[in-house]
Amino acid sequence: MTELLSNYLGGKWQAGSGAGTPLFDPVLGDELVRVDATGLDLAAGFAFAREQGGAALRALTYRKRAALLADIVKVLQANRDAYYDIATANSGTVRNDSAVDIDGGIFTLGTYAKLGDTLGDRHYLPDGEATRLGKDPLFQSQHVLVPTRGVALFINAFNFPSWGLWEKAAPALLAGVPVIVKPATATAWLTQRMVRDVVEAGVLPAGALSVVCGSPAGLLDPLQPFDVVSFTGSADTAAVIRSHPAIAQRSVRVNIEADSVNSAVLLPQDGPDTAAFDLLVKEAVREMTVKSGQKCTAIRRVFVPEALYGQAAEAIGARLSKVTVGNPRNDTVRMGALVSRAQFNAVQDGLAYLRKHAQVLHDATQHLVDADPAVACCIGPTLLGVTDADAAAAVHDTEVFGPVATLLPYRDTAHALALVRRGQGSLVASLYGSDAAALGAAAVELADSHGRVHVISPDVAQLHTGHGNVMPQSLHGGPGRAGGGEELGGLRALHFYHRRSAIQASTAVLDALA
C-alpha cells in the first residue's frame, strides 16, 4: 500500500483512522500516496491553533513576523526540486507550469516579507488620522486595525496546491493569525509536503501553521466568531459554505473566489496586421494552454471586431496547432494533463455542452506524446466560435475549467463591453489596443465588474505580467459570480485578518498609543 500522508493539527502529526483516498499520476495512472482525515479532533486542533499559535504570533511585531516569512522562503527554496517532482507526478504539469505554482507561491511570500518589514515594530495598524469629536480637539477618535483572535481556515482548489496556500498564508501570518489549510484532495501532496518542510524546520511557533488532508466531516463546525474562512472553488460549494451556521449565525468572516468566465477584448482601432492583434492571439493561446487551462483567471471568451473574426480564428488556431500535449517528463511536450480523471470527465462534459451552442474552430483531437490516451488525463486545446454573440447565452454563462475558449465577434466598443459584462462579474478582463485613451476608458468601464483589468498595449509587450498571472501587488478576486471576494493587493490583504475599531480618547492617550 502507498504512503498515507499525515495531517499536522494541534501541534503534532496525526494520521487519519481510515484507509485513505488515493492520489494518482494523471498521466501514467499510478497511485502515488493516500490522504485521510477521518477521526481527527478538529475542535481541539482549531483551539490549539487559536490559543497557542495565535498568541505566539500576536506577541511578535509585524517586522518580526515578516522575518518569519523570509525564513519560510529559504526553507521552500531549499526544497524546490522535490516540489517540482511532486507537481510533475501529481498535477501532470510541465516544468514551466509547475513554476507558476511553486515559484509563484515563493515569490508571493517574499513580497509580503518585504512589505511587512515596512510596517515596523508595532502590534496594530492605525487606520487613517485621528478626528476630533467636538469643537475642542482634546477628545478624538482614532480607528485602528488589530489582528483577529481566531484562526484562518483555507479551503483551497486543486489547481494551485502551492500558490493557493502561500498567497493566503503570507498575509495571514504577517497579520498575526494562525493558518489551517485544507487543500483539495486530488493534489494535496504538494501542500502537505511544503507544510511538513516548514514545520520540521521549526520556523514558526507551534500552532501557527496546520494542514488537514482528505475530507474530514464537519470541517466548519469548530469555527468561532473571530475566525475567518477563505475558499477557492466552485459556486455550488461556496453556497454551502455561506449557509453554514458558523457563517450565517456566528458571523465568521468569509472570503469567496468562485467561477469566472474571464474575457480578452481586441479594441476596434487595431487590425489584423498590428502588434495589438498579435498580442491578443499570443495571450489567448497562452491562457488556454498554461496548466492546461486550469486557472481561475484563464481566458474563456475572446472578443474581436466582426470584420476580424475569421482572421483571429485562423491565427489562434495556427498557434494552437503547434502545441504538443502529453507526458510532462518528455522535453518536447508543452502542455501536460488535467489533474485527475474526474476533471478530465468534467471538461469533456462541459466541452460537449458548449459544442451544442458553438462551432469548433480548432479541434482538440491530436496525438499524445509519450502518453496512453486510454490512461492519461490529457486533452488538447479547443477553440470554439460563435457568430452571434448576443444569442450565445451558454458561452457567457459556462466555464469549462480546461484548455477551452470561445471566439466571439462584436459590432463596436459599447457592444463588446456589454458582452463582457454578461459574464456577471469576473476575476480579470484583458484589453488589447494601441489607443491609450480608448484603452483607459474601456478599463474604467469594466472595473466595476472585474477584480482586475489587464491592459496590454504594444509599449508594454515585453513588460506586462500576463492576463492570468496574479501578482501579489494587485487585487485578486471579483464581484458577482466570481464570488465577491478580495485577496492580495499588497497590504490591503491584511485587512481581512484584522478587526477595525474606533478608539475614542484624549489626545494624550492617542499620542501614547502612537
Q: Which residues are catalytic?
A: 257, 296
State the cell numbers at 353: 455542452
Identify residue 396 by its one-letter amino acid code.
H
Pairing status of strand 450-456 against strand 382-385 = unpaired
What is d(CA 446, CA 77) in angstroms, rounded to the nearest whole number? 38
Identify residue 112 by its one-letter amino acid code.
Y
Confirm if 283 and 299 have CB atoms less than 8 A apart.
yes
**Triad 484, 254, 208: Cα angle to 5°:** 130
CB count within 10 Å of CB 107 equals: 17
Q: Where are the beta strands (DSSP E) in 25-127?
A: 31-35, 125-126
Helices (H), 297-402: 309-320, 341-355, 393-397
Report residue 296: phi and psi, to 5°. Answer: -65, -20
What is d(CA 492, CA 171) in angstroms, rounded to the nearest whole number? 9
What is d(CA 270, CA 284) in angstroms, rounded to the nearest whole number? 16
The full length of the chain comes to 514
Identify residue 170 by its one-letter amino acid code.
A
Task: Find how far residue 338's CA is from the centre of its chain.
Answer: 17
What is d(CA 220, CA 45) in angstroms, rounded to the nearest whole number? 12
Q: Where are the beta strands (DSSP E) in 442-511?
A: 450-456, 475-478, 485-488, 498-506
Identify residue 514 by its one-letter amino acid code.
A
Shortest CA distance to 311 belongs to which of 287, 281, 282? 281
